[in-house]
């Protein structure tokens, strides 16, 4: 978001991996990604896609909110895939409940009105960075936004 620093916090991912006694190489293999890429996630040097983050949440049986320190409740939202249509519907509902226009939300995020429209119409999956910023600013569950609860 424009005037706020909503930096993603991946520290719980490392803690969960270590608690299970897994190496970075093993975790990367589970996620079907390169070990160096996984290492960058733990070092907060690379952005995790929502699909990879969802796979991590499913593997450890925790919520997205817990993984990103939005909540201290580990939760168990099941091994659900993310449906771009549901995400779009929920984003639109959140925006309308907050009495925001697409243009206003776009300005807050530092993006375009057309991108917000594509998200809401289920043409594109909202990026994790934008979703996280919305959730932090408006006190919304990331699991709710991504249709996991």
Give the pLDDT confidence of 31-55 residue by residue, as tens digits.
999 999 999 999 988 889 999 999 9
Give the burial class of 14: count Cβ atoms within 10 A of its Cβ; 0-12 exposed, 13-18 middle, 19 or more buried. Answer: middle
pLDDT > 70: what percent of the chain? Answer: 94
Separation of first and last alpha carbons in the chain: 25
Domains delineated in the chain: 11-67 (1.10.260.40), 84-145 (1.10.260.40)
> Quick one: residue 77, left, alpha or beta (phi over 0 = left, psi -120 to 50 = alpha)?
alpha
Q: What global pTM score does this model have?
A: 0.88
pLDDT at 60 over 80: yes
Name residues whose C-beta falls within 8 Å of residue 47's C-beta, 6 or more positions apart in sequence: 8, 128, 129
């Amino acid at each position: 978001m424009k005037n706020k620093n909503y930096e993603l916090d991946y520290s719980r991912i490392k803690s969960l991996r270590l608690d299970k006694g897994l190496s970075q190489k093993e975790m990367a293999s589970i996620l079907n990604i390169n070990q160096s890429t996984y290492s960058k996630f733990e070092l907060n040097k690379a952005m995790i896609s929502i699909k990879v983050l969802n796979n991590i949440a499913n593997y450890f049986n925790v919520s997205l909110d817990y993984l990103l320190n939005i909540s201290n409740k580990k939760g168990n939202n099941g091994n659900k895939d993310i449906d771009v249509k549901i995400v779009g519907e929920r984003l639109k509902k959140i925006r309308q409940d907050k009495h925001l226009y697409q243009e206003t939300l776009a300005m807050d995020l530092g993006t375009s009105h057309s991108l917000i429209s594509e998200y809401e119409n289920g043409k594109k999956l909202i990026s994790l960075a934008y979703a996280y910023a919305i959730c932090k600013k408006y006190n919304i569950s990331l699991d709710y936004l991504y249709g996991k609860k």
